Chain A
Amino acid sequence: MIRDITIGQYYPADSILHRLDPRVKLSGTLIYIVCLFLVKNLWGYLIAALCLGAIIRLSKVPFGFIVRGLKTIIILLLFTVAFNLFLTSGTPIFEWKFIRITKEGVSLAFSMAVRLILLILGSSLMTFTTTPNQLTDGMESLLGPLKKLHVPVHEIAMMMSIALRFIPILLEETDKIMKAQQARGADFETGGIIKRAKAMVPILVPLFISAFRRAGDLAMAMEARCYRGGEGRTKMKPLKYHKPDGIAWVAIVCFIALTVVSRRF
Chain B
Amino acid sequence: MAIILDKLDYVYSPGTAYEKHALKNINLVINDGEFIGIIGHTGSGKSTLIQHMNGLVKATGGTVYYNGADIYDEDYKLKDLRTKVGLVFQYPEHQLFETTVLKDVQFGPKNLGLPPLEVDLRAYDALKQVGIGDDLIDASPFELSGGQKRRVAIAGVLAMKPEVLILDEPTAGLDPKGRDEILDQIAKIHKEQKITVILVSHSMEDVAKYVDRIIVMNHGEAVYDGAPKEVFAHYKELEQIGLAAPQVTYAMHALRDAGIPVTTDATTVEEARDAILAWYREEKK
Contacts and interface: CB of A to CB of B under 8 A. Distances in A.
A201 interface: yes
Interface stretch (A98-106, A110-118, A134-142, A178-186): A178-186
Nearest to B78: A182
A206 B15 contact: no
B151 to A, nearest CB: 15
B108 A185 contact: yes
Interface string B177-196: 00000000000000000000
Contacts of A3: 13
B142 interface: yes
A177 to B, nearest CB: 6
Given A205-B97, A206-B97, A209-B142, A184 B156 contact: yes
B188 to A, nearest CB: 22
Given A11-B17, A13-B17, A183 B157 contact: yes
Contacts of B160: 184-185
B79 A184 contact: no
A56 to B, nearest CB: 15
A11 B96 CA distance: 33
Question: Quick one: which of B15, B17, B89 has the most chain A CB within 10 A?
Answer: B17
Interface size of B as a range: 20 to 34
B111 A210 contact: no
A65 interface: yes
Interface string B78-91: 01001100111100
B90 to A, nearest CB: 8
A179 B83 contact: no
Contacts of B97: 201-202, 205-206
Contacts of B112: 185
Interface size of A as a range: 20 to 34
B95 A185 contact: no
Interface in B51-94: 51, 54, 56, 79, 82-83, 86-89, 92, 94
A65 B97 CA distance: 34
Contacts of A181: 95, 107
B86 A183 contact: yes
Interface string A210-238: 10000000000000000000000000000
B145 interface: no
A62 B16 contact: yes
Contacts of A176: 89, 94
A206 B141 CA distance: 11
A214 to B, nearest CB: 11
B33 to A, nearest CB: 21
Interface of B: 13, 15-17, 51, 54, 56, 79, 82-83, 86-89, 92, 94-97, 107-108, 111-112, 142, 156-157, 160
Given A185-B108, A187-B79, A210-B94, 16 more contacts: A3-B13, A11-B17, A12-B17, A13-B17, A176-B89, A177-B94, A177-B95, A180-B95, A183-B88, A184-B156, A184-B157, A185-B83, A185-B107, A185-B112, A202-B95, A209-B142
Interface of A: 3, 11-13, 62, 64-65, 176-177, 179-187, 201-202, 205-206, 209-210
6 contacts: A65-B17, A177-B94, A183-B56, A201-B97, A202-B95, A206-B97
